[in-house]
Amino acid sequence: MRLTVDGRPIEIDAEPDMPLLWALRDLAGITGPKFGCGIAACGACTVLVDGQPVRACVMPVGAVEGAVTTIEGLAEGDALHPVQQAWLDEQVAQCGYCQAGQIMSAVALLAEIADPSDEEIDAAMGGNLCRCGTYPRIRAAIRRAARDGAGA
Q: Where are the domains of the chain?
A: 2-73, 82-147
17-76 pLDDT tens trace: 999 999 999 999 999 999 999 999 999 999 999 999 999 999 999 999 999 999 999 998
pTM of model > 0.85:
yes
Taking the mean position of all CA atoms in its chain, how far away is CA 64? 16
Which fold is adopted by the domain 2-73?
Ubiquitin-like (UB roll) (3.10.20)
DSSP state of 40: S
69 DSSP β-pair partners: 48
Position 18, amino acid: M
Please name the fold of domain 82-147: DNA polymerase; domain 1 (1.10.150)
Provide the pLDDT for residue 152: 63
Contacts of 80 (CB under 8 A, 6+ apart): 74, 88
Rounded Cα–Cα distance for residues 117 and 44 (Å): 23
Percent of the chain with pLDDT over 90: 93
